[in-house]
Amino acid sequence: MTIDEQISLLRKGTVDCIPEDELRRKLERSAKTGRPLRVKAGFDPTAPDIHLGHTVLIRKMRHFQQLGHTVIFLIGDFTGMIGDPSGRSVTRPALTREQIDENAETYKQQIFKLLDRERTEIRFNNEWFSKFGANDFIRLAGKATVAQILEREDFKKRFQSQTPISIHELMYALAQGYDSVALEADVELGGTDQKFNLLMARQIQQAYGVKEPQLIMTTPLLEGLDGVQKMSKSLGNYIGITESPRDMFGKVMSISDDLMWRYYELLTDLSPAEITALKNSAESGERHPRDLKADLARRIVTDFHSQADADDASNEFDRTFREHQAPSDVPSIEKPAGAIKLVKLLAGEGLAPSVSEAQRLIAQGGVRLNGERVNDVKLELGSDSGEALIQVGSRKFLRVVFK
């Protein structure tokens, strides 16, 4: 690629590039000297699994790899014990060493679904912080002022509302900044919520004598399935990268048509021109948005599973939702013949959390029996031997055999 083409690839789906003109200089110098850029991204192991929201940043790391550069997947096993205050209105609960180690191991297993093992360094920041003494931490603390730290919006709001701010939280950005010193980072990537920390890292590098501090690039926060809030496990609006191909495919198909284009931009390697061509085909009526969404779902499933898995998930989705047939692997149970209320069956087999919730689902038309919508909350099954195929919502199925 030419330098302009490289910049186009690297700037796709990003928000900030600070300083703007430094990316070109770093790429030109790398091409001239043959020295790959060292591209850092840090992840505190605060949750056991990675979801598609995390992969926006990981995909950008892959773009740097595709251009021949070295990426550093930094696991913040030390900073994870502090807890990143970004976007937090209260102090994060501290993680135990065991939780951090377990989550970090999961990260190591998952990231190579996108990244190239040969061009990836996995590092842990406890590697250098475990060697820090009191003098080292005092020296680090002297590289910034309290006024600078309190400029960050999260702390400013908490200070004004008299919400407690722990001293160790003030150290987070400084510790993350020192990571860049230890790793000799040329570029650091992070979400837009990390901008304060990334800028602080440039300052820390300069304070430790780095002549040319890192370039910082930020990526947007991906909206979850609801299209409103950022993707998060705690909000239940996420797609995990270890989910089954069928679940992953079905969740992608559930997003809105507008959100689909956001996912195309941030979760695929298609160029802006290619995405614009797809949008034009939808607007002109040449292609239906549903088919374009299915293409997106196949791309995403292929990235984290395989092309064969994507094809199977697509066929199963069509079978279930377009042709209104049951999935090919519906779980089956046996029950003795005899009258049983449908609501009790739904609650007892986990298709509804309670009898009252089962009644609500039926009243709202969310339950089907043998393909037909049920509207009688007092319906009983099993008076005669036979089978009943129960469907709750779009994804829960159960075959009941009465004997």
pLDDT (mean) for 331-352: 88
| 148 or 57: which leads in pLDDT | 57
pLDDT (mean) for 108-119: 88
- Do β-strands 386-392 and 367-369 pair in parallel, antiparallel, or remain unpaired? antiparallel
User: Domain 332-402 belongs to what topology?
Assistant: 3.10.290
Percent of the chain scoring above 70 in pLDDT = 94
Q: Where in the chain is the domain with CATH 3.40.50.620?
A: 3-219
pLDDT at 367 over 80: yes
Phi first, then psi, for residue 160 (nearest 5°) are -70, -30
| 25 or 336: which leads in pLDDT | 25
Provide the pLDDT confidence category of residue 162 given band limits of 50, 70 and 90.
confident
C-beta of residue 380 within 8 angstroms of C-beta of residue 369: no
Per the structure block, which two tokens stand in for 318?
């069509």
pLDDT of residue 89: 46
pLDDT of residue 287: 94
**245-322 carries CATH number 3.90.550.10:** no
Q: H/E element holding 386?
A: strand 386-392
* Of 114-118, 156-160, 204-208, the least confident: 156-160
Q: What is the pLDDT of residues 211-243, one digit of tens each?
A: 899 999 999 999 999 999 999 877 889 999 999
pLDDT of residue 97: 75
**3-219 carries CATH number 3.40.50.620:** yes
pLDDT at 95 over 80: no
pLDDT at 386 over 90: no
Provide the pLDDT confidence category of residue 163 given band limits of 50, 70 and 90.
confident
Nearest to 177 by CA among 150, 143, 147, 154: 143
- 3-state SS assignment for residue 398: strand
pLDDT at 92 over 60: no
Q: What is the pLDDT of residues 1-19, one digit of tens each?
A: 899 999 999 999 999 999 9
What DSSP line would sit under 23-79, residue for residue? HHHHHHHHHHH-PPPEEEEEE---SS--BHHHHHHHHHHHHHHHTT-EEEEEE-TTG
Q: Where in the chain is the domain with CATH 1.10.240.10?
A: 245-322
Average pLDDT, the chain: 88
Q: What is the pLDDT of residues 32-86, one digit of tens each?
A: 999 999 999 998 777 667 899 999 999 999 999 999 999 999 998 888 777 655 5
pLDDT of residue 96: 74
pLDDT of residue 330: 79
pLDDT (mean) for 159-169: 81
Q: Where in the chain is the domain with CATH 3.10.290.10?
A: 332-402
Phi first, then psi, for residue 213 (nearest 5°) are -65, 170
pLDDT of residue 336: 84
The count of other CB atoms within 10 Å of the CB of residue 5 is: 11
